[in-house]
Structure 1
Amino acid sequence: MDYSSLRETLRTPQWSEAQDRILLEPYTYISANPGKEVRTKLIDAFNAWLDVPDADLEVIRRIVRMLHNASLLMDDVEDSSELRRGIPVAHQIYGVPQTINTANYVYFLAVEELLALRRPSRAGSPAGEVGVAPGRASGASEMGGMGGTGGTGGIGESGRTGGMGGSGGPSGAGGIPGSVAGAGAIGTASIDMAGTAASSSSSPDSGPSPKSRDTDHPSIHASTSADAKGKQKQVDLVGTVTDELLCLHRGQGLDLFWRDSLTCPTEEEYVHMVLGKTGGLFRIAVKLMMAKSASEVDYVPLVNLISVFFQIRDDYMNLHSNEYEDNKGFAEDLTEGKFSFPIVHGVRADPSNRQILNVLQKRTTSRSLKLHTVNYLRTHTRSFEYTRGVLETLRKQIEEEIRSLGGNKMLEKIMEALGVPGEK
């Protein structure tokens, strides 16, 4: 190498497709073995209502898939999992450091994909600058209540409308610190549908690939589309996704804290944690679709219900399903020491009995000990029966919400497929 002109040589950093493939190997590995693609199916179902342009919808699918698989890489490391979708987890093959780096890399590649959504969705809609309004959005008000401005509050808590995560706190009425009113800065948003500013929504077919960054446009973080009346709708897409990724990591962080400190949450705390951890990716998909749709309907409350149902059902199936045993191992949540929904109920149903807590603390791999704990949850605390009752209540609420929004056959079929088996 000639160092005599190094200054000029370094003006063009070298990065090849071959190097990119190496970096992405853990991601490629997990993506090559897809799961049931529930998130993709939900996107298609909600699109029956939202009718997002095909090109935008494909970008949204890709973003959600990238973020989902990257989060699974991190989850498996954090949970010390051995199986994912029936095969060894990525970090057992590629190591923990490379897997973490790859997951973080894919998060940023997803942000680059997000910038593709800044163009107008409808012909004749100019990509103007984003107007600024304090706070966030229609959709965000149902996000959930842990963090933000008010600590551990409930859904629809004051401050930032959606309490769990995002940008409340010292910056004022839900604005992201550093945003400048009137400047179209990152973290600001506007929907102009009636001539006045309003809070905006804060609310692997093809894998990730590096793209050149376009920074010349003043509203690179904004999406511009037209609503049903042809009026301009502008949404800060980067702010929306950032808020939800904050929610996701806050929820995940609490889940890990409870596990590692052997602290059993209340059911309410658990539900709000799930609203962030599981709901974040669901809301990213639907909020991006809402931003690129002519529809003015807010589908986030329905998404939140589905998110909580989905996670509680997943917790139930982890301890109850032969299929889950094949994919992840028998009662893997007990080995991870996780306070899943049936376990939270079991611990709190009989506080005088510490059997469940002692098993969680041991992180046992003993099948006989885990089977004993599952039977204890089934017969002594009746936690499976209780969980099925909660899931049935949530299912009825979801079905009613779907009906109130005009019905959706695809979504109804997805809910039918997410059945809850009874006792074996």
Structure 2
Amino acid sequence: MTEDYDIEALIGSTASDKTAALPDCILAPYTYLESIPSNNKNVRSTFLQAFNELYYHITNQELISSIDEVISIFHNASLLIDDIEDSSNFRRGLPTAHTQFGTPLTINSGNLMYFVALQKATQLPQLYKSHIDPQLSEKVSGILVDEMLNLHHGQGLDIYWRDAKESVTSPPTIEQYLQMIMNKTGGLFRLSVRLLECFDESTPAATTTNTPLANLLGIIYQIRDDYLNLVDPNYSHMKGYTGEDLIEGKLSLPILHCLLNSQDSPIKHVLLMKDREVLKSNGELVARCISYMETETKSLQFTHSLLKQYQQRAQDIILQNASEDCLLLQVVNKLCNV
């Protein structure tokens, strides 16, 4: 005799019950990562507040908090996938989620949270107008899809340049690299600005945009990260070894600059080696590569100089509308103080 399952009620229900809580077991990788304090002390949240304070003056704090939540979910979900794609063992000083929960569940958790963020974003107009606005919801959804496409475009190039041998012998240009990180890292900065612009009533629609500044800040953020990855002891401590980008084979800005300005460098040999475990245990070789980038091709100095150059450009843009004590300028200067 078979069990009397309520199959009629089951098949007659809507599978996507928006009121049902997601099971903790499938959220575990995301929840784990989210619980680890960020190294950069929520810099994206601070930028969101600073942009709003200077340009948009949106007083609905529930709306601002919800935009912040959407961006945070996208960021953390992308880190879950990024750590798998980079075979990283540590994130923020602790073991990465996929080493704790397995790669399949972590991929699913990361992808799931992308759609959770998208769902939450489509609800933002209700916080703004207290009712459903299909046109505004469609605009918000379009922005998120745009930036997800940009993120995966940039991330895909980053991975390809890392894994393809021809990228070492025929590397991309500096301009191509900056375009890639503007897509990859700049996406969440642009997302902040573009969502704020959707709900900004202080200026007529489409008359002005701060997207160029957001693009510049994304580039600044990644250049800073590229530099510190090779020179900052704190990064080495959090990752468990020095020169993570070099060991992973990434064409970060100083590494790319070195390739473009040398014929036969130890960096080229290390990138062609593509044996991470050997490199992790060979601190002397990694140290020699970093020293070469400092003393021979001056790639570290080039990276630091470009960071300062773009910091000045960002300052010039911000000071067109603000005083020197504004929060956005303070955050930019603090970020670039390396």
TM-score, scaled relative to structure 2: 0.88
Q: Deviations over 1:119-139 (max 9, x none)?
A: 27368xx86553xxxxxxxxx
- 2:23 equivalent in structure 1: 20
Question: Deviation of residue 369 (structure 1)?
Answer: 1.2
Tell whether the 8 Å contact from 2:125 to 2:133 is kept in structure 1 after alignment: no
- Contact 2:73/2:117 (<8 A) preserved: yes
Moved more, 395-404 or 43-52: 43-52
CA spacing shift, 1:331–1:17, aligned 2, 3 Å = farther
Q: SS of the residue aligned with 1:57?
A: helix
Query: Are residues 1:382 and 2:298 paired?
Result: yes
- Which of 78, 81, 85 is the matching residue for 1:78? 85
Displacement of 1:357: 2.0
Root-mean-square deviation (Å): 2.1
Distance 1:403 1:18, change over 3 A: closer
- One-letter amino acid matched to 2:85: E
**How does 1:270-419 map onto structure 2 within 5 Å?**
270-296=177-203, 297-328=208-239, 329-350=241-262, 352-361=263-272, 362=274, 363=276, 364-365=279-280, 366-407=282-323, 409-419=326-336
Determine helix, strand or coil for the equivalent of 2:336: coil
Deviations 1:239-266 (A, max 9, x none): 0110011001000000000011031211
Which runs of 5 or more residues in structure 1 are unaligned? Answer: 131-218, 223-235
- The amino acid across from 1:112 in the alignment is Q
Determine which of 68, 79, 86 is the counterpart of 2:75: 68
CA distance in 2, matches of 1:4, 1:375: 69
Contact 2:229–2:244 (CA under 8 A) maintained in structure 1? yes
Conserved 8 A contact 1:56-1:292: no
Per-residue CA distance 1:254-294 (angstroms, 9 max, x = gap): 00000110312110000000010001111111110111121
User: How far apart are 1:4 and its partner, in Å?
Assistant: 6.7
CA distance in 1, matches of 2:99, 2:83: 10
**Cα displacement string for residues 394-414 of structure 1 (whole angstroms, at most 9, x for unaligned residues):** 011000000013346111221
CA distance in 1: counterparts of 2:146 and 2:21, whole angstroms: 33
What secondary structure is seen at the aligned counterpart in 1 of 2:209? coil
Distance 1:413-1:379 versus aligned 2 partners, 3 A rule = same
What residue identity is the alignment partner of 1:253?
G
Q: By how many angstroms is 1:2 displaced?
A: 3.4
Taking the aligned partners of 1:18 and 1:290, their CA distance within structure 2 comes to 31
Structure with the higher helix share, 1 or 2 = 2
Q: Cα 1:14–1:266, aligned 2, differ >3 Å: closer, same or farther?
A: closer
Equivalent residues in 2 for 1:67-106, closer than 5 Å: 67-106=74-113
SS of aligned partner of 1:404: coil
- 1:188 aligned partner: none
SS at match of 1:47: helix
Pair 18,307 (structure 1): closer, same or farther in 2 beyond 3 Å:
closer
CA contact 2:63–2:127 (8 Å) conserved in 1:
no
Per the alignment, do residues 17 and 304 of structure 1 end up closer, same or farther by CA in structure 2, a change over 3 Å counting? same
Q: What are the residue-to-residue correspondences of 1:184-263 with 2, within 5 Å?
A: 221-222=137-138, 236-262=139-165, 263=167
- Distance in 2 of aligned mates of 1:44 and 1:28: 24
Name whichever of 318-327 and 360-369 sits farther off: 360-369
SS of the residue corresponding to residue 77 of structure 2 reads helix
Q: Normalized against structure 1, the TM-score is what? A: 0.71
Which residue does the alignment assign to 1:198? none
**1-side partners of 2:21 and 2:132: how far apart?**
36
Inter-partner Cα distance in structure 2 for 1:382 and 1:111:
43
SS in structure 2 at match of 1:338? coil
Aligned to 1:40: 45
In 1, Cα distance between the equivalents of 2:99 and 2:154?
Answer: 25
1:326 is displaced (CA, Å) by: 1.5
What is the distance in 2 between the residues matched to 1:19 and 1:412?
Answer: 40
Counterparts in 2 of 1:315 and 1:14: CA distance versus 1, 3 Å: closer
**Alpha-carbon distance, 1:115 to partner:** 1.6
Distance 2:234 2:64 in 1: 31
Gaps of 5+ in 2: none
SS in 2 for 1:394: helix
d(CA) in 1 for partners of 2:34, 2:9: 39
Deviations 1:340-365 (A, max 9, x none): 00001000011x21421221233321
Structure 2 CA distance for aligned equivalents of residues 80 and 240 of structure 1:
30
1:51 to 52, 57, 70: 57
The number of aligned residues is 316
The offset of 1:419, in angstroms, is 3.3
Matched, 1:9 2:10: yes
Cα pair distance change 1:118/1:292, threshold 3 Å: same
